[in-house]
Amino acid sequence: MRSGDPIALIQKYRRKGLLVDSNLLLLFLVGSFDSSLIEKFKRTRASGFTTDDFELLTRIMAQFEKIVTTPHILTEVSNLSTFKGITKMDYFQRFGISILSFDEQTVPSKNFCHKAYFCAFGLKDAAIAHIAKNNYLVLTAEFALSNYLQKSGIDAINFNHLRQHVWS
The structural domains of the chain, with segments of one domain joined by +, span: 6-167
Which pLDDT score, from 0 to 100, does residue 166 have? Answer: 61
pTM as predicted:
0.92
Average pLDDT over residues 132-147: 95
What is the CATH architecture assignment of 6-167? Answer: 3-Layer(aba) Sandwich (3.40)
106: confidence class by pLDDT, cuts 50, 70, 90: very high
Sheet holding 67-69, edge to edge: 103-104, 67-69, 18-20, 137-140, 156-158
In this predicted model, which residue has the larger pLDDT, 15 or 109? 15
Per-residue pLDDT for 122 more than 90? no
Mean pLDDT lowest among 32-46, 60-74, 122-136, 154-168 = 154-168
pLDDT tens for 35-83 read 999 999 999 999 999 999 999 999 999 999 999 999 999 999 999 999 9
CB 52 within 8 A of CB 94: no
The alpha carbon of 48 is separated from its chain's Cα centroid by a whole number of angstroms, namely 16
- How many residues are listed for the chain in this entry? 168
3-state secondary structure of 156: strand
